[in-house]
Structure 1
Amino acid sequence: MRIDWIKQFFLFAAIPLLATSVLAKDPDFKAPAEYVGPPKPLHAATNRAFQGIPSMAVTPGGRLWATWYASKTPGEDANNYVVLSTSSDQGATWKEVLVVDPDEEGPVRTFDPELWMAPDGKLRLAWAQSIGHDGTVAGVWFLETDEPESAQPTWKKPVRVTDGVMMCKPTVLASGDWVLPASTWRKTDNSAKMVVSDDHGKTWSIRGACNVPPKVRAFDEHMFVERKDGSLWLLVRTRYGIGESVSTDGGKTWPELTPSTLAHPSARFFISRLNSGNLLLVKHGPIDKPTGRSHLMAFLSTDDGKSWSNGFLLDERAGVSYPDGQQTPDGLIRIIYDFSRTGDRNILMATFREEDVAAGKPVSKDVKLRQVVSKASGGMKKAKP
């Protein structure tokens, strides 16, 4: 998994030569995935040795959508495909309705999906598509529907919107601009990009980008926060945890990334503006105490990130990671995350309210933790060394 990126480097040691050869002759990684449709027997939850890295969205009518990626083999490899699941009963039951699989056994893989209910009322499923782990040749794809309340909506054709990988939620600025946090991670300067649309998603262009110092580059997985003073606060995953930069010109220029005061392992985090105007942050461990990928906690800030509450514990187990979520107009907050990607292979959801986070303990009647979205099994075992 991505926590062992050095191991992944050696695992994919043979791929760069293959990728160079394939990309030079065959643009398949830039072509739409060959299969976008109902799950086949190959994609059954009982034929997965790996699943994780989820995202979720909630429609205005209350339908829940969840996505993640999976594989019949136990890792992030050419067998990866994206899964889309939905629930009409507040997460009590789920049904997988769609997979995005470029070519089954590779070399192209789909991974790092994201779900977003955009201001235009459309549901968008995004994913990255590439060969191997090279974020410089990956592309961000959008699949959208006008029927987010339907269990079986009609989907438009997939569209490649920008280079790189988009691992976190888009942001809508006060100006109305839509912002994608796309990254050409690890190998390029100015990798943490701000990709903007001023025409409701019809066209996209890079407005600016932040440079992550080479020695601390990992998988940027960055997020943007528009502060009340109009500045843009950028938080980025690094090898040491979370780095930050602030733009005061609408995202055109960004000072080079520097360490933030938020203690964290090298892993994805989640930050969002709540209905109240306060900020919600979901990360591992206390604000100022580093941990591994355990103790997934939610924090509240009433002063635009200058200070944070003591934290509300969502799941203390080792092996929990990759939070993503959404607050709905009724105040409910739902956070999706994974647990034990090649062991238990769980996709889980936590439901709570802002007052629970502020109190640091359950005080509302709506707290539900470790709700099962998906549990996988089977697949191919790890090859013996």
Structure 2
Amino acid sequence: MTDVDKLNSPLLAPCFLPGASDEPSRFQGIPGVEVTPGGNRFAVWYGGGDGEGPENYLMVARCTPQLPGEWPVVLRVDHPGREIRCFDAGLWLDPAGNLRLFWSQSRCRETGKDVSDGVNGVWQSVCAAPDAPVLSWSRPERICDGIMLNKPTVAANGDWLLPVSVWGDGTGGGRLPESLRAYSGANLFVSEDGGRSFHRRGLVRVEEGRIFDEHLFVERRDGSLLMLIRTLYGIAEAVSADGGRSWTPPRRSRLRGPGSRFALRRLKSGALLLVNHRCDGPFSPVREKLEACLSDDDGASWTPGMMIDPRTGVSYPDFAQQSDGTILCVYDRDRYGAGEILLAEFTEADLRAGSLPHPPRVIHSLSGRPETAAHQTMNKQEMELVP
């Protein structure tokens, strides 16, 4: 059996389990969010154990129109192997209306040390009817080496553009095999057939201040692709005029940040929405002051920010937009303490007015979890794995 065969072996597929874990956890965060045409809201994050390590698993929560404000965990993705962690997950509603759950897996022997094996791997499972009372998920499938945290982008020609990072040698403690060294960087993987197959198209490697990449793409109105990349100094950018096959050398962006994840997508109106940290003075690595800004000219300029959460310890935003225009933004706070997953709701009009209409609310935390025994029973009935 080749190394590729081993990585794609069914033995490395995780278990899909109903509901939340009963095991004590002292760490959780790194959320994603998506919403369906029927108004079902989904959030995903990972946790388990004392921090990033072999005990990590994913949690997927659903909020239905029938029980607004309730976010029971309906799915847990865990690996039975003692040294394999599930982490860095994302949710995405594809053009056909399927809800895709993406996540990363890696061998990891010890919490907080060597949390990557150097190869990692992007996995997916598909829910073809996310508005159904009972959720059916396809069997987990490994897409490629690397890690993907942010949502794919659909280009004007229908291509799916996936932001997959192959971490640098030693990042997370892992060592890159020789076969992956040429691909270390912020990669673009593409599907030209609606998600049936994926292949690498191009990459950008940041030399100054590179860390986890956590990059994303937007297609601009002139057809070019803009890539933004997380760095130690904030955000780098690169541009492609040929669909991502080649890129300009990465340079420092005018956008700033504390060296953390940010979120960027095009809204239904055509404006770009950026959720990032406000940096008012000299560079600081402190994760605080999460805000949202709009651009009407493909990122050449930005509106004054609307503050979402001014506190320290807030990070890793992701957002989705409902059919009525409401924007759902999730983020985490105090991963090793309260372990809060928060949700802010606002509209584009709120953004332009510069005022968040309602305070964000906690949808899950390590203390005072919202699930009840009734919810746990419901969760077992709501999860089904299909071939």
Is the Cα–Cα contact under 8 Å of residues 263 and 287 in structure 1 kept in the other structure? Answer: no
Aligned to 1:358: 352
Q: Measured at CA, do residues 284 and 183 of structure 1 come closer, stay the same or move farther in structure 2, by a change above 3 Å?
A: same
1:66 to 2:43 alignment: yes
Q: Measured at CA, do residues 29 and 191 of structure 1 come closer, stay the same or move farther in structure 2, by a change above 3 Å?
A: farther
Q: 2:104 aligns with which of 122, 125, 128?
A: 128
Aligned to 1:38: 18
Equivalent runs, 1:362-373 vs 2, <5 Å: 362=356, 367-373=357-363
Aligned to 2:175: none
Q: Give SS of 1:194's match.
A: strand
1:346 to 2:345 alignment: no
Aligned to 2:172: none
Is the Cα–Cα contact under 8 Å of residues 315 and 333 in structure 2 kept in the other structure? Answer: yes
Q: Give SS of 1:176's match.
A: coil
Unaligned runs of 5+ in 2: 109-114, 170-180, 369-387
Identity score, percent: 42
Is the Cα–Cα contact under 8 Å of residues 63 and 87 in structure 1 kept in the other structure? Answer: yes
Q: CA RMSD in A?
A: 2.2
1:270 to 2:247 alignment: no
Q: Deviations over 1:187-213 (max 9, x none)?
A: 355510110001000000111111111
Amino acid of the structure 2 residue aligned with 1:121 = G
Is the Cα–Cα contact under 8 Å of residues 14 and 140 in structure 2 kept in the other structure? Answer: no
Q: 2:272 aligns with which of 267, 279, 283?
A: 279
Report how far residue 179 of structure 1 moved. 0.9
Between the two proteins, the alignment pairs up a number of residues equal to 346
Amino acid of the structure 1 residue aligned with 2:363 = V
Q: Measured at CA, do residues 26 and 335 of structure 1 come closer, stay the same or move farther in structure 2, by a change above 3 Å?
A: same
Query: What CA distance in whole angstroms lies between the structure 2 residues aligned with 1:199 and 1:299?
Result: 33
Q: Give SS of 2:298's match.
A: coil
Aligned to 2:71: 94
1:246 to 2:239 alignment: yes
Q: Deviations over 1:148-195 (max 9, x none)?
A: 013431111111111100010110000000111011022355510110
Q: 2:95 aligns with which of 116, 119, 137?
A: 119
Q: 1:315 aligns with which of 279, 288, 309?
A: 309
Q: Give SS of 2:87's match.
A: strand
Equivalent runs, 1:1-385 vs 2, <5 Å: 31-39=11-19, 43-44=21-22, 47-71=24-48, 73-89=49-65, 92-103=69-80, 106-132=82-108, 133-134=115-116, 136-187=118-169, 188=181, 190-213=184-207, 215-286=208-279, 290-291=283-284, 292-362=286-356, 367-377=357-367
Q: Give SS of 1:235's match.
A: strand
Report how far residue 26 of structure 1 moved. 7.1
Q: Measured at CA, do residues 37 and 310 of structure 1 come closer, stay the same or move farther in structure 2, by a change above 3 Å?
A: same
Query: What CA distance in whole angstroms lies between the structure 1 residues aligned with 2:52 and 2:120?
Result: 14
Query: What CA distance in whole angstroms lies between the structure 1 residues aligned with 2:51 and 2:168?
Result: 20
Is the Cα–Cα contact under 8 Å of residues 245 and 256 in structure 1 kept in the other structure? Answer: yes
Is the Cα–Cα contact under 8 Å of residues 100 and 127 in structure 2 kept in the other structure? Answer: yes
Is the Cα–Cα contact under 8 Å of residues 86 and 105 in structure 2 kept in the other structure? Answer: yes
Q: Give SS of 1:369's match.
A: coil
Q: Give SS of 2:32's match.
A: strand
Q: Measured at CA, do residues 122 and 24 of structure 1 come closer, stay the same or move farther in structure 2, by a change above 3 Å?
A: closer
Q: Measured at CA, do residues 168 and 265 of structure 1 come closer, stay the same or move farther in structure 2, by a change above 3 Å?
A: same
Q: Deviations over 1:83-105 (max 9, x none)?
A: 1110014851111111111126x
Q: Give SS of 1:160's match.
A: strand
Unaligned runs of 5+ in 1: 1-22, 379-385
Is the Cα–Cα contact under 8 Å of residues 293 and 320 in structure 1 kept in the other structure? Answer: yes
Report how far residue 288 of structure 1 moved. 7.9
Please report the TM-score for the alignment, with normalisation by the length of structure 2.
Answer: 0.84
Query: What CA distance in whole angstroms lies between the structure 1 residues aligned with 2:141 and 2:99?
Result: 14
Query: Which moved further from structure 2: 369-378 or 198-207?
Result: 369-378
Q: Deviations over 1:132-152 (max 9, x none)?
A: 333741111111011101343
Report how far residue 369 of structure 1 moved. 2.7
Q: Deviations over 1:243-264 (max 9, x none)?
A: 0000111110012321101110
Amino acid of the structure 2 residue aligned with 1:331 = G
Q: Measured at CA, do residues 375 and 96 of structure 1 come closer, stay the same or move farther in structure 2, by a change above 3 Å?
A: same
Q: Measured at CA, do residues 334 and 25 of structure 1 come closer, stay the same or move farther in structure 2, by a change above 3 Å?
A: closer
